[in-house]
Amino acid sequence: MTGTDEVVQQLRRMLEDYRRQRGRRPARRARAVRTGLDALDRTLPHGGLPTRAVTEVLFGAPGAGAMSLALGVAGRAAGDGRPVVVVDSEGDLYPPAVARVGLSVEQLLVIRPKRAADGVWAADQSLRCPAVGAVVVRVGKLGPSQSRRLQLAAESGDNLGLIVKPYSSRERTFAAVQIVLEPEAAGEQADPAGQADRVCPVRVTVLKVREGKPAAPFIVGLDDEAGFVSVQSMAVDRSSRARRRRVGA
């Protein structure tokens, strides 16, 4: 969808529909949305990502599955049929591909802003709309003031915000949770399922969690066709990880 006025009108229509039906529905409370990665959910205080909050999903390199993870969580957050807003600043989202992560194409509202500032504004307005189930934003960079703005917007709405951006652009954040996904070098971990040709090992690290302490990093599998797959999740030694990051910096 293009055009700022068009987006605003659609959000207003959804909000009006929500308000008409609000009297028939019980009031929603903040809840936790499962990520689909059991090893990750076990590290989070309530077994998932909190609603009425923003989570940042950082990626160390393309192909780490950050967008797949975000879209999958968004689909679970909007499981009651509410739409999912995707702010596609890069313009490379392929809607039919989202079906692989369990998100219905009919629920998608895709916004392709011409400027980065327009994308943040669209995300802010979408997060404030309780008729929206989740908001996924793909950005190249997000400053502290913008991070605070989106977190406040999520707190005022009844949905979940997911910011996908490169790890290299990491700055001070007001997000409730911050996660980084990094492809693991081939051969560093065993392949107990014998799927080395198909499955890429991905290191998952929780950098920040508001109501708890980050746990040790661990490894999961990412399949090009099936998304995240069940493999033997393995904890990663923090000192080893720190040494690799210093070398690669």
Is the distance from CB of 137 to CB of 119 less than 8 angstroms? yes
Concatenated DSSP letters for 52-99? SEEEEEEESSTTSSHHHHHHHHHHHHTTTS--EEEEETTS---GGGGG
Q: Is the pLDDT of residue 22 over 60?
A: no
Q: Which residue has the tokens 């207003």?
A: 12
Under DSSP, is residue 113 helix (H, G, I), strand (E, B) or coil? coil
Would you state the CATH architecture of domain 4-21+29-181?
3-Layer(aba) Sandwich (3.40)
pTM attached to this predicted model? 0.78
Q: What is the largest CA-CA distance in the chain?
A: 58
Q: In this model, does residue 200 exceed pLDDT 90?
A: no
Over residues 76-115, the pLDDT tens digits come to 999 878 999 999 988 888 877 788 887 888 899 999 998 9
125: Cα separation from own chain's centroid: 18
Distance between CA atoms of 93 and 122, rounded to whole angstroms?
Answer: 17
Domain residue limits, the chain: 4-21+29-181
Measured distance CA(143)–CA(148) in Å, rounded: 9
* Ordered alpha helix ranges (H), the chain: 4-22, 38-41, 66-77, 116-127, 144-156, 238-248
Confidence of residue 7 (pLDDT cuts 50, 70, 90): low
Provide the percentage of residues in the chain whose pLDDT is more than 90. 47
Give dist(CA 63, CA 176) in Å, integer. 24
Report in angstroms the alpha-carbon separations of 56 from 7, 15, 36, 157, 200: 24, 25, 16, 17, 22
